[in-house]
Amino acid sequence: MAIIVVGGHSRDVGKTSVVAGLIAALTVHHWTAVKITQFGHGVCSISAEPCECALNLTEHSWSLDDESDRSGDSDTSRFLVSGAVRSIWARTKQGMLAEAMPALRKEIAGAANVIIESNSVMKFLRPDLYLSVLDFETADFKASALEFLDRADAVIVHRTSQSQPQWDGVSLKLIQGKPIFRITPPEYVTSEIVEFVREKLRVPAISASI
Protein backbone atom coordinates (compact mmCIF):
# COMPACT_ATOMS: atom_id res chain seq x y z
CA MET A 1 0.00 0.00 0.00
CA ALA A 2 1.18 3.49 -0.89
CA ILE A 3 0.05 6.59 0.98
CA ILE A 4 -0.03 10.04 -0.59
CA VAL A 5 -0.76 13.18 1.43
CA VAL A 6 -1.84 16.41 -0.26
CA GLY A 7 -1.65 19.54 1.86
CA GLY A 8 -1.78 23.25 1.24
CA HIS A 9 -1.07 26.51 3.03
CA SER A 10 -4.64 27.81 3.19
CA ARG A 11 -8.27 27.18 2.33
CA ASP A 12 -9.33 27.31 -1.30
CA VAL A 13 -5.88 26.81 -2.83
CA GLY A 14 -6.94 23.64 -4.64
CA LYS A 15 -6.07 20.74 -2.32
CA THR A 16 -9.34 18.91 -3.06
CA SER A 17 -8.96 19.51 -6.80
CA VAL A 18 -5.44 18.06 -6.74
CA VAL A 19 -6.61 14.97 -4.86
CA ALA A 20 -9.55 14.49 -7.22
CA GLY A 21 -7.34 15.02 -10.26
CA LEU A 22 -4.79 12.44 -9.13
CA ILE A 23 -7.51 9.90 -8.40
CA ALA A 24 -8.99 10.41 -11.87
CA ALA A 25 -5.61 10.17 -13.60
CA LEU A 26 -4.48 7.11 -11.65
CA THR A 27 -7.64 5.09 -11.08
CA VAL A 28 -5.67 1.88 -11.61
CA HIS A 29 -4.37 2.32 -8.06
CA HIS A 30 -7.86 1.82 -6.55
CA TRP A 31 -7.66 4.74 -4.15
CA THR A 32 -9.22 5.03 -0.74
CA ALA A 33 -9.52 8.81 -0.32
CA VAL A 34 -9.61 10.57 3.03
CA LYS A 35 -10.47 14.18 3.80
CA ILE A 36 -9.53 15.38 7.28
CA THR A 37 -11.35 18.38 8.74
CA GLN A 38 -10.58 19.90 12.12
CA PHE A 39 -13.39 22.10 13.36
CA GLY A 40 -12.94 25.18 15.49
CA HIS A 41 -14.74 26.04 18.71
CA GLY A 42 -18.47 25.39 18.77
CA VAL A 43 -18.73 23.00 15.81
CA CYS A 44 -19.44 19.33 16.45
CA SER A 45 -17.27 16.64 14.87
CA ILE A 46 -20.25 14.30 14.68
CA SER A 47 -22.81 16.57 13.00
CA ALA A 48 -20.55 19.30 11.58
CA GLU A 49 -23.03 21.75 13.13
CA PRO A 50 -22.96 24.03 16.19
CA CYS A 51 -23.26 21.87 19.31
CA GLU A 52 -23.07 22.10 23.10
CA CYS A 53 -20.27 19.51 22.98
CA ALA A 54 -17.94 22.51 22.71
CA LEU A 55 -18.33 22.77 26.49
CA ASN A 56 -16.76 19.32 26.89
CA LEU A 57 -13.47 18.76 25.10
CA THR A 58 -13.76 14.97 25.11
CA GLU A 59 -17.38 14.76 23.91
CA HIS A 60 -17.90 14.28 20.17
CA SER A 61 -14.16 14.73 19.67
CA TRP A 62 -14.02 12.86 16.34
CA SER A 63 -16.02 11.02 13.72
CA LEU A 64 -15.32 8.93 10.61
CA ASP A 65 -17.96 8.60 7.89
CA ASP A 66 -18.01 6.78 4.58
CA GLU A 67 -19.26 8.88 1.67
CA SER A 68 -21.97 7.32 -0.49
CA ASP A 69 -23.24 10.39 -2.36
CA ARG A 70 -22.04 10.64 -5.96
CA SER A 71 -23.50 14.02 -6.80
CA GLY A 72 -20.10 15.73 -6.59
CA ASP A 73 -21.53 18.39 -4.28
CA SER A 74 -19.08 17.75 -1.43
CA ASP A 75 -15.34 17.21 -1.41
CA THR A 76 -15.63 13.56 -0.40
CA SER A 77 -18.31 13.05 -3.05
CA ARG A 78 -15.95 14.50 -5.65
CA PHE A 79 -13.42 11.84 -4.72
CA LEU A 80 -15.93 9.09 -5.50
CA VAL A 81 -16.94 10.75 -8.75
CA SER A 82 -13.26 10.93 -9.70
CA GLY A 83 -12.91 7.17 -9.30
CA ALA A 84 -12.00 6.46 -5.68
CA VAL A 85 -13.18 3.04 -4.52
CA ARG A 86 -13.89 4.51 -1.11
CA SER A 87 -14.08 8.02 0.36
CA ILE A 88 -13.90 8.80 4.08
CA TRP A 89 -14.56 12.09 5.87
CA ALA A 90 -12.59 12.27 9.13
CA ARG A 91 -13.74 15.09 11.41
CA THR A 92 -12.18 16.12 14.70
CA LYS A 93 -12.19 19.00 17.11
CA GLN A 94 -9.29 21.38 16.53
CA GLY A 95 -6.07 19.84 17.77
CA MET A 96 -7.62 16.43 18.50
CA LEU A 97 -6.66 14.50 15.37
CA ALA A 98 -4.60 12.17 17.55
CA GLU A 99 -7.84 10.90 19.08
CA ALA A 100 -9.10 9.76 15.67
CA MET A 101 -5.88 8.27 14.31
CA PRO A 102 -6.21 4.73 15.75
CA ALA A 103 -9.63 4.34 14.12
CA LEU A 104 -8.43 5.92 10.87
CA ARG A 105 -5.41 3.61 10.71
CA LYS A 106 -7.75 0.66 11.14
CA GLU A 107 -10.05 1.90 8.36
CA ILE A 108 -7.27 2.30 5.79
CA ALA A 109 -5.20 -0.74 6.78
CA GLY A 110 -6.71 -2.97 4.10
CA ALA A 111 -6.78 -0.40 1.32
CA ALA A 112 -4.92 -0.87 -1.96
CA ASN A 113 -3.61 2.71 -1.87
CA VAL A 114 -4.55 5.77 0.14
CA ILE A 115 -4.63 9.48 -0.68
CA ILE A 116 -5.28 11.94 2.17
CA GLU A 117 -6.15 15.63 2.05
CA SER A 118 -4.55 17.14 5.15
CA ASN A 119 -1.48 18.84 6.57
CA SER A 120 -1.84 17.81 10.21
CA VAL A 121 -1.88 14.08 9.47
CA MET A 122 1.85 14.43 8.79
CA LYS A 123 2.32 14.44 12.57
CA PHE A 124 1.13 10.87 12.72
CA LEU A 125 2.39 9.10 9.61
CA ARG A 126 5.21 9.18 7.11
CA PRO A 127 3.65 8.87 3.64
CA ASP A 128 5.33 7.66 0.49
CA LEU A 129 4.67 11.07 -1.07
CA TYR A 130 3.71 14.47 0.35
CA LEU A 131 2.62 17.27 -1.99
CA SER A 132 1.95 20.84 -0.87
CA VAL A 133 -0.23 23.27 -2.84
CA LEU A 134 0.84 26.94 -2.69
CA ASP A 135 -0.66 30.18 -3.98
CA PHE A 136 1.47 33.35 -3.81
CA GLU A 137 -1.67 35.52 -3.88
CA THR A 138 -3.20 33.99 -0.75
CA ALA A 139 -1.67 35.61 2.33
CA ASP A 140 -2.87 33.15 4.97
CA PHE A 141 -0.40 30.40 5.82
CA LYS A 142 -1.57 27.67 8.19
CA ALA A 143 0.81 26.72 10.98
CA SER A 144 0.36 23.05 10.07
CA ALA A 145 1.40 23.71 6.46
CA LEU A 146 4.49 25.64 7.57
CA GLU A 147 5.46 22.93 10.05
CA PHE A 148 5.71 20.29 7.34
CA LEU A 149 6.63 22.32 4.25
CA ASP A 150 10.24 21.20 4.36
CA ARG A 151 9.06 17.57 4.20
CA ALA A 152 7.21 18.07 0.92
CA ASP A 153 8.48 15.86 -1.90
CA ALA A 154 7.22 18.45 -4.39
CA VAL A 155 5.20 21.66 -4.40
CA ILE A 156 2.36 22.64 -6.69
CA VAL A 157 2.31 26.40 -7.22
CA HIS A 158 -0.36 28.59 -8.82
CA ARG A 159 0.94 30.60 -11.74
CA THR A 160 0.84 34.31 -10.95
CA SER A 161 2.38 37.58 -12.04
CA GLN A 162 3.70 38.09 -8.50
CA SER A 163 7.37 37.25 -8.05
CA GLN A 164 7.08 37.20 -4.26
CA PRO A 165 4.34 35.62 -2.15
CA GLN A 166 1.96 37.52 0.10
CA TRP A 167 2.89 35.25 3.01
CA ASP A 168 4.31 36.91 6.10
CA GLY A 169 7.34 35.30 7.72
CA VAL A 170 7.55 32.27 5.43
CA SER A 171 10.87 31.70 3.70
CA LEU A 172 11.02 30.33 0.16
CA LYS A 173 14.19 28.54 1.24
CA LEU A 174 11.92 25.83 2.62
CA ILE A 175 11.11 24.74 -0.94
CA GLN A 176 14.51 25.28 -2.52
CA GLY A 177 15.68 22.23 -4.44
CA LYS A 178 12.24 20.63 -4.50
CA PRO A 179 10.38 19.84 -7.74
CA ILE A 180 7.99 22.70 -8.47
CA PHE A 181 4.95 22.18 -10.69
CA ARG A 182 3.09 25.24 -11.97
CA ILE A 183 -0.67 25.10 -12.39
CA THR A 184 -3.28 27.39 -13.90
CA PRO A 185 -6.75 26.68 -12.48
CA PRO A 186 -9.14 25.19 -13.37
CA GLU A 187 -6.39 22.71 -14.31
CA TYR A 188 -4.94 21.60 -10.99
CA VAL A 189 -3.19 18.40 -12.10
CA THR A 190 -0.93 18.53 -15.14
CA SER A 191 0.54 15.63 -17.06
CA GLU A 192 3.90 16.42 -15.43
CA ILE A 193 2.40 16.06 -11.95
CA VAL A 194 0.72 12.79 -12.90
CA GLU A 195 3.97 11.39 -14.30
CA PHE A 196 5.89 12.47 -11.18
CA VAL A 197 3.41 10.67 -8.93
CA ARG A 198 3.28 7.63 -11.22
CA GLU A 199 7.06 7.28 -11.13
CA LYS A 200 7.12 7.60 -7.34
CA LEU A 201 4.53 4.84 -7.04
CA ARG A 202 6.48 2.56 -9.39
CA VAL A 203 9.64 2.67 -7.32
CA PRO A 204 9.69 0.03 -4.57
CA ALA A 205 10.17 1.88 -1.31
CA ILE A 206 9.87 1.38 2.40
CA SER A 207 6.18 1.08 3.14
CA ALA A 208 4.59 4.14 4.65
CA SER A 209 4.35 3.96 8.40
CA ILE A 210 0.75 4.13 9.55
The CA distance from 192 to 63, in Å, is 36
pTM above 0.85, yes or no: yes
- Domains observed in the chain: 2-202 (3.40.50)
**Nearest to 40, CA basis, from 53, 29, 24, 23:** 53
The CA distance from 54 to 134, in Å, is 32
Positive or negative: CA dihedral 161, 167, 172, 174:
negative
pLDDT at residue 95, rounded to an integer: 87
Q: pLDDT per position in the chain (210 positions), as tens?
A: 999 999 999 999 999 999 999 999 999 999 999 999 997 545 554 455 555 544 345 555 899 999 999 999 999 999 999 999 999 999 998 888 999 999 999 999 999 999 999 999 999 999 999 999 999 999 999 999 999 999 999 999 999 988 789 898 899 899 999 999 999 999 999 999 999 999 998 855 444 455
Indicate the burial class of 185 (C-beta count within 10 angstroms; 0-12, 13-18, 19 or more): exposed
Beta-carbon contacts of 137 under 8 Å, excluding residues fewer than 6 positions away, are: 158, 160, 162, 165, 166
pLDDT at residue 202, rounded to an integer: 81
Burial 81-91 (b: 16+ CB within 10 A, else e): bbbbbbbbbbb
Specify whether the CB–CB gap between 104 and 34 falls below 8 A: yes
The CA distance from 157 to 147, in Å, is 18
Q: What backbone phi and psi angles, to 5 degrees, belong to 161?
A: -80, -15
pLDDT at residue 45, rounded to an integer: 47
Q: What backbone phi and psi angles, to 5 degrees, belong to 105?
A: -60, -40
